[in-house]
Amino acid sequence: DAISPEPADDTELAIEGALRPASLEEFVGQHKVRGQLQLLLDAARIQERPADHILLAGPPGLGKTTLAMIIAHESDRPLRMSSGPAIQHAGDLAALLSSLVPGEVLFIDEIHRMARTAEEMLYLAMEDFRIDIMVGKGAGATSIPLDLAPFTLVGATTRSGMLPNPLRDRFGFTAHLEYYEPEELEQVIARSARVIGMDLAGPQRDEIARRSRGTPRIANRLLRRVRDYALVRGGGRAASLDDVRAALELYDVDAIGLDRLDRAVLDALVRRFRGGPVGLGTLAVSVGEEADTVESVVEPYLVRIGFMGRTPRGRVATPEAYEHLGVVHAAQGQT
């Protein structure tokens, strides 16, 4: 708004904010989830109550934060944002919950990383809008019940499998966000190009879309790098197809959109571990990455495009992965 201009040194972040669609209508793709959310919000509006708690699950950059903002905006409620790592004690959560105004939407990103003690407090809060605060220690300890204003919890997680069942069960609805199709990403890019004042023809948008790993955040990021490239070395505001390709190559995005880490994991799986099966932890260590990152960021996409399979004995590479890396499959090499 006019009172708080975006800080000048934070333009990348400011642009990311400007690129967020503000309504379900403008939100590209995820038709199923959009319909489900719309119904949930409409029902709450008719009954003049806060919407049920909503869990948004899926890999990073698919629109979970954006949806949380849209949920608050469409239901005309204020939004409070927090995250699992910021809630390391039950007291952190108690402070947050007790300061909510009636009907507020509370967004907790990376909710699977919240402290266990806070999780247990959250069960009661979600169900009864009440928490028990422990005062005193030892034999004299007592719990004082505290009523909360009714709220809507919107949780986001890249690892819905890591949420304890009692927490998962307390969400009225879980939205599973899927990777986007290139045609959908093309729409995201067309919209974003308009917002940042870029002139981008269809083939250029397609090229970026096909190389964005099914992820709007990556599409927007690549678009900005293409804009930079065109501005500095290419055709100015109108990027050519060559500008697009050169920019993506400069930033290590390969022909199908895999980045350095994707390729490192694939390479280790195929060459070092001879196609697997190999355990996730071993694979992660071999590329110097956290197992969590490999599991929630790299693996879902490689599985989705059919390059990696998950078996009870570990991760395996598919023939398509060998082909992409230009490695002859051991079984094919034998005669």
Binding site for Mg(2+), residues?
65
Query: Does 66 engage in binding with ligand ADP (CB under 6 A)?
Result: yes
Helix (H) or strand (E) holding 154: strand 152-157
Instruction: Examine the residue annotation and report whether 210 is marked as an active-site residue of this protein.
Output: no
Helix (H) or strand (E) holding 55: strand 54-57
Burial letters 117-139, b for 16+ CB under 10 A, else e: bbbbbbeebbeebebeeeeeeee
What amino acid is encoded at 127 in this protein? E
Tell me the closest approach of the beta carbon of residue 19 to ligand ADP, in angstroms: 4
Instruction: Examine the residue annotation and report whether 199 is marked as an active-site residue of this protein.
Output: no
Q: Closer to ligand ADP by CB, 34 or 245: give it.
A: 34
Query: Does 296 engage in binding with ligand ADP (CB under 6 A)?
Result: no
Whose CA is closest to 223, among 4, 18, 74?
18
Q: Count other Cβ atoms within 10 Å, centred on residue 281.
A: 12
Q: What angle, 0 to 180 degrees and rounded to 10, lies between the N-to-C axes of helices 116-128 and 90-98?
A: 30
Query: Does 107 engage in binding with ligand ADP (CB under 6 A)?
Result: no
Q: How many CA atoms lie within 13 A of 84 on its CB side?
A: 17
| Residue span binding ligand ADP (CB under 6 A) among the ranges 61-69, 122-130, 203-211, 281-289 | 61-69
Q: Count other Cβ atoms within 10 Å, centred on residue 4.
A: 6
Q: Closer to ligand ADP by CB, 12 or 249: give it.
A: 12
Residue 49 Cα distances to 46, 52, 57, 333, angstroms: 8, 9, 24, 65
Name the catalytic one among 77, 205, 213, 217: 217
Q: Closer to ligand ADP by CB, 33 or 308: give it.
A: 33
Residues 247 to 286 in contact with ligand ADP, rule: CB under 6 A: none
- Separation of alpha carbons 235 and 335, rounded Å: 53
Q: Closer to ligand ADP by CB, 42 or 181: give it.
A: 181
Residue from the set 40, 65, 93, 257 that interacts with ligand ADP by CB under 6 A: 65
Per-residue x/- marks for ligand ADP, 140-179, CB under 6 A? ----------------x-----------------------
Residue 319 Cα distances to 102, 277, 331, angstroms: 55, 14, 10
| Residue span binding ligand ADP (CB under 6 A) among the ranges 16-24, 90-98, 136-144, 313-321 | 16-24
Query: Does 217 engage in binding with ligand ADP (CB under 6 A)?
Result: yes
Contact between 131 and 121 under an 8 Å Cβ cutoff? The reply is yes
- Separation of alpha carbons 79 and 94, rounded Å: 17
Instruction: Examine the residue annotation and report whether 217 is marked as an active-site residue of this protein.
Output: yes
Query: Does 63 engage in binding with ligand ADP (CB under 6 A)?
Result: yes
Tell me the closest approach of the beta carbon of residue 199 to ligand ADP, in angstroms: 20
Q: Closer to ligand ADP by CB, 186 or 268: give it.
A: 186
Residue from the set 33, 54, 62, 321 that interacts with ligand ADP by CB under 6 A: 62
Q: How many residues bind ligand ADP (CB under 6 A)?
A: 20
Q: Residues at the annotated binding site for ATP?
A: 19-20, 61, 64-66, 127-129, 170, 180, 217
Name the catalytic one among 77, 109, 174, 227: 109
Q: Residue 3 in 3-state DSSP?
A: coil
Query: Does 61 engage in binding with ligand ADP (CB under 6 A)?
Result: yes
Tokens of 82: 């927090």
- Separation of alpha carbons 90 and 122, rounded Å: 9
Beta bridge partners, 106, equal 80, 153
What's the helix, strand, coil split of the chain in %, to 5?
50, 15, 35
Residues 24 to 43 in contact with ligand ADP, rule: CB under 6 A: 27-30
Q: In the complex, which residues of this chain contact ligand ADP (CB under 6 A)?
A: 16, 19-21, 27-30, 60-66, 156, 188, 216-217, 220
Catalytic residue ranges: 64-65, 109, 158, 217
